[in-house]
Structure 1
């Protein structure tokens, strides 16, 4: 297939359908998604914002070990989940917990990895959401593999693979794009450019005009979009998904957004960025932007907004109550999911662990040390 090179380069300015004040920029608004899709997106962003807030509180309470917040990036999170069909796959990063929740994964299970529980915390096949990936870009070749396998089986599956700007500096990113292009895998690579890879600004990572330009060298079309404009994200990502589903191959989409909070709770963002910079991006808040447009169009009133807030609060309560339940770990789980059929070595190791644990348990016929001490005290 001959690729039209003129169609591969992204636009100089990000695609935008609603400006930061919520005013349409597309003339008559014909390119805007349907009102129901925008209302669904706003509800999802309100829930995602509350989920970010609640998760950050759980870290301070010692219930989560760490939380990489996507506060300020909710438009990217919700749009990524909303454009996919039931048979499609989402491959998230560690920061994409809100996207996984928007896809339908139990919020308590989504946070399992960040709490320190075993494995990914949820069944990836139930909602077709791959495990959260902590190493940068390692999930991208896996996403291409799933998409390629689906194509070989004749399935209409599309994979949306998420990553950050820092991941584009990793070899896995480039290998994944090259493989996807050569084999025409139905993958949408979605880069959330939130301006920093921890403390490293984008200017110290890449000299390209945009990250969307990085696809050109591999024969992958690139698209640059305002990552705080949910309407534009839904439009661009939906088109990319359907393009991939039609057999036209992969596409790279860069959403320019901003991480309003620190990299994680262990990060001091004031050491590498100014309050003025953060405030300028806060004025581009994706929730306020879409809220303003929907109210101006008469599609949103206080009653509907209150319903969105109530639903978000129920999600926060579900998350809080679930995380606050202490789970008693079973050491046997260490051996249960290594192979589909346990090897002799695993069987031997499990038996050894059970034997050692049984020796530590107090005999039923003998009082425990604590019981003996209590008896002596009396």
Structure 2
């Protein structure tokens, strides 16, 4: 039963990734049909991101009130309805309005599922969970391109993804009683077991303790939030501006640049699949640090005046390096800061992560427009370095907490 239930969680994360890549792939066709300006897609994306940030911040209270199962169900219903609305939207104004429930639903389900898996499953499941997000993000443009090629319309693509989301809603509704039942089974199995001290070490004194009123007063929380900010900032910056760097600075053709960026995302997806197996032998602390160093090595390859083929290697290395960092940091939340604090803190981490996704790539674009896109490798290395320093600072705080030094 627990295995099949985990499959449902994986399916939910595929559905979370499906809408993320639809807008960008459909916008060249949507824009003229809706008589919208080119930058209107950015406004829609900003509204979605804002809704995601708000729902992530509120997710802790919502999960405590309704439970993970109901929050996931309601969130998926919201996203399904919003996507169906997208497929029938008569104007840009409707898309702007529908972007609100789409963002609110995405943030809640993201925080809820991450917290549930971090609390009840091993580290490899967290990596595979985010691997399935990559599967969904990859499937979205494929579905959209099929409908645009077959019917010449983007509306069928949004409708198809909405149908998939509604099917998941039905599955979640039928399996709703399992959420608390499976969680209780996990708690019984963990009773009498040694906490996962091999990673960062659970603070045994926090087991069963009340949640901290001031989450930000816990040592290491602010620094780990900075790590999340720069992780998502660099992931999205590479994805959004990498092709522009390749075309504008290295004079690659647009098709080749797009293909190489897809390999960057492929590196993230495959890297998370592999990381799930690696965590069976290697703890998250080592895996996160190794990933950061691999990503920095990839960034250095982008900076050096080497053959163009090394640019592709650099992008793939960045993707592979980034792969274990985000799920690893999420999975360590209960172990680092106490399970009683993880529900609320997971929502804050999601909110800060989406803030990095929303603000840092446009910030780079603004600076690059005033200077040159050739600053791309330097910016990537700066973001990676700040993330690395933040994560290492958290390691020192946790180590000092465990040893009492």
TM range (shorter): under 0.3
**TM-score scaled to structure 2, two decimals?**
0.23
More strand per residue: 1
Of structures 1 and 2, the larger Rg is shown by 1
